[in-house]
Amino acid sequence: MVVRLYRALDQKMCILEERFAMAEKMEPTDIERTARTLNLLVRLFDKLTEIDDRVRTTNKRNESGRDADNRTGKGDDAER
């Protein structure tokens, strides 16, 4: 899901880049709106990065726990 959100964010950033390339033709209100949108996307990127980091950390912990269980014989098969 995070990967899809990163893709959506990238698409929005491409649109904003196109708008900023035409900035001299834009009205001041359009420039302001685009700047606010950019700010929103930056905050979204920060949140996505934070979520992604938490997911990776959790996955590493889970994998480490499974590895330790496998080494000590405490895995699912050891209980049978």
16-39 residue pLDDT tens? 888 888 878 888 898 898 889 989
Q: Report the pLDDT averaged over residues 1-15.
A: 89
pLDDT band at residue 49 under the 50/70/90 scheme: very high
Residues 6+ apart with CB under 8 A from 75: 66, 69
Name the average pLDDT for the chain.
Answer: 83
| Report field, pTM of the whole predicted structure over 0.85 | no
- Closest alpha carbon to 8 in 58, 36, 51, 45: 45
The most confident of 4-8, 20-24, 67-71, by mean pLDDT: 4-8
Instruction: Measure the CA–CA gap between 39 and 44, rounded to whole angstroms.
Output: 9
